[in-house]
């Protein structure tokens, strides 16, 4: 049997990649992608949804267990009202158009962030997609929407304080596990890899507690240009990192 050497080397390259169990993505650069093309920022966000679909497909294909996508931050309220409205509409439309496919792909969807302050229509869409995919056992897709790590940690501290005040909890028993179990990611593994597109090198209030030991990878491409080659480049960078977790390595 003859093996096409080009295909064989792609396969070898792929089998040498370490696959993170949990990837967090700061999907940045939609506006700049659009601006470069003379399009509106909204067109950039629309193209960003296509990149979300590619990210989900690639995560399934490469065997990632958890994919967390940063879609709207608690600081994004500083944007013009029209853009905020458009981003909210996109989440709505994404759920409407993709729910059936996500179910077919065995994807479990959860939304993290402050949902209490979202309008009730959007809240019920969020609850609906979570309920309808709750029994799925494939990729865990977390969408961080109206999410900010500082307010997430603050809410966890407040919840612990309420338990202390009522006598339910002894302050001495508050440890990292107790705090972690009051975050929106309770019970989920911490991200191994945080990928940010568009060349910006900051976390912008994304998963600050959970990323304590994540490997950070920054790529120049804007989010709408995210594809398999960007994904594989990020996985290669991750594969080459020596994760020591404070120890002396292997």
Residues that bind ligand IPE (CB under 6 A): 26-32, 70-73, 76, 87, 198, 200, 202, 204, 223
- CB atoms inside a 10 Å sphere around CB 201: 8
Task: Kindly state the smallest distance separating residue 28's Cβ from Mg ion, in Å.
Answer: 4
Other C-beta atoms within 10 Å of 243: how many? 13
32 binds, among Mg ion, ligand IPE, none (CB under 5 to 8 A by kind): ligand IPE
128 has catalytic annotation: no
Residues 6 or more apart whose CB falls under 8 angstroms from that of 189 comprise 21, 22, 65, 66
Q: How far apart are CA 10 and CA 16, in angstroms?
A: 10
Collect all residues with Cβ–Cβ distance below 8 Å to 193 and sequence separation of at least 6: 20, 22, 23, 24, 214, 215, 217, 234, 235, 238
For 208-220, give the DSSP string: TTTTTTPEEEE-S
Using left for φ > 0, alpha for ψ between -120 and 50, and beta otherwise, residue 63 falls in left
Q: Tell me the closest approach of the beta carbon of residue 197 to ligand IPE, in angstroms.
A: 8
Q: Which one of Mg ion, ligand IPE, none is in contact with 27 (Cβ closer than 5 to 8 A by kind)?
A: ligand IPE
Quote the least distance from Cβ 81 to ligand IPE, whole Å. 14
94 binds, among Mg ion, ligand IPE, none (CB under 5 to 8 A by kind): none
Least distance CB 239 / ligand IPE (angstroms) = 25
Q: What are the φ and ψ backbone dihedral angles of 218, each rounded to 5 degrees? A: -115, 130
Name the minimum Å distance from CB 227 to Mg ion.
19
Tell me whether residue 113 or residue 160 sits nearer to ligand IPE (CB atom).
113
Give the residue at shortest CB distance from Mg ion.
28
The active-site residue out of 76, 114, 136, 190 is 76
- CA 104, CA 132: separation in Å to the nearest integer? 11
Q: Which does 202 bind (CB under 5 to 8 A by kind): Mg ion, ligand IPE, none?
A: ligand IPE
Residues at the interface with Mg ion (CB under 5 A): 28
Which listed residue (4, 16, 28, 205) is catalytic?
28
Q: Which residues of 13-38 are buried (b: 16+ CB within 10 A; e: fewer)?
A: eeeeeebbebbbbbbbbbbbbbeeee
Whether 222 is catalytic is no
Q: Which does 26 bind (CB under 5 to 8 A by kind): ligand IPE, Mg ion, none?
A: ligand IPE
Which residue's Cβ lies closest to ligand IPE? 31
Q: List the catalytic residues.
A: 28, 76
């Amino acid at each position: 049997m003859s093996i096409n050497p080009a295909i064989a080397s792609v396969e070898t390259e792929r089998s040498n990649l370490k696959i993170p169990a949990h990837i967090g993505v700061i999907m940045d650069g939609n506006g700049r992608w659009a601006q470069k093309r003379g399009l509106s920022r909204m067109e950039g966000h629309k193209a960003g949804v296509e990149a979300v679909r590619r990210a989900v497909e690639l995560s399934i294909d490469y065997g990632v267990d958890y994919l967390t996508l940063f879609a709207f931050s608690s600081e994004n309220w500083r944007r013009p009202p029209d853009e905020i409205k458009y981003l909210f509409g996109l989440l709505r439309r994404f759920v409407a158009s993709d729910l059936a496919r996500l179910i077919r792909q065995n994807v479990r969807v959860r939304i993290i962030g402050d949902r209490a302050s979202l309008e009730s229509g959007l809240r019920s869409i969020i609850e609906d997609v979570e309920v309808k995919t709750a029994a799925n056992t494939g990729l865990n897709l977390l969408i961080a929407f109206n999410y900010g790590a500082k307010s997430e940690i603050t809410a966890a501290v407040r919840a612990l304080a309420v338990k202390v005040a009522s006598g339910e909890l002894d302050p001495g028993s508050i440890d990292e596990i107790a705090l972690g179990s009051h975050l929106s990611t309770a019970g989920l593994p911490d991200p191994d890899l945080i990928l940010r597109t568009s060349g910006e090198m900051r976390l912008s209030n994304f998963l600050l507690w959970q990323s304590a030991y994540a490997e950070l990878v920054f790529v120049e491409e804007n989010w709408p240009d995210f594809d398999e080659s960007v994904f594989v480049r990020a996985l290669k960078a991750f594969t080459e990192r020596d994760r020591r977790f404070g120890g002396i390595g292997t």
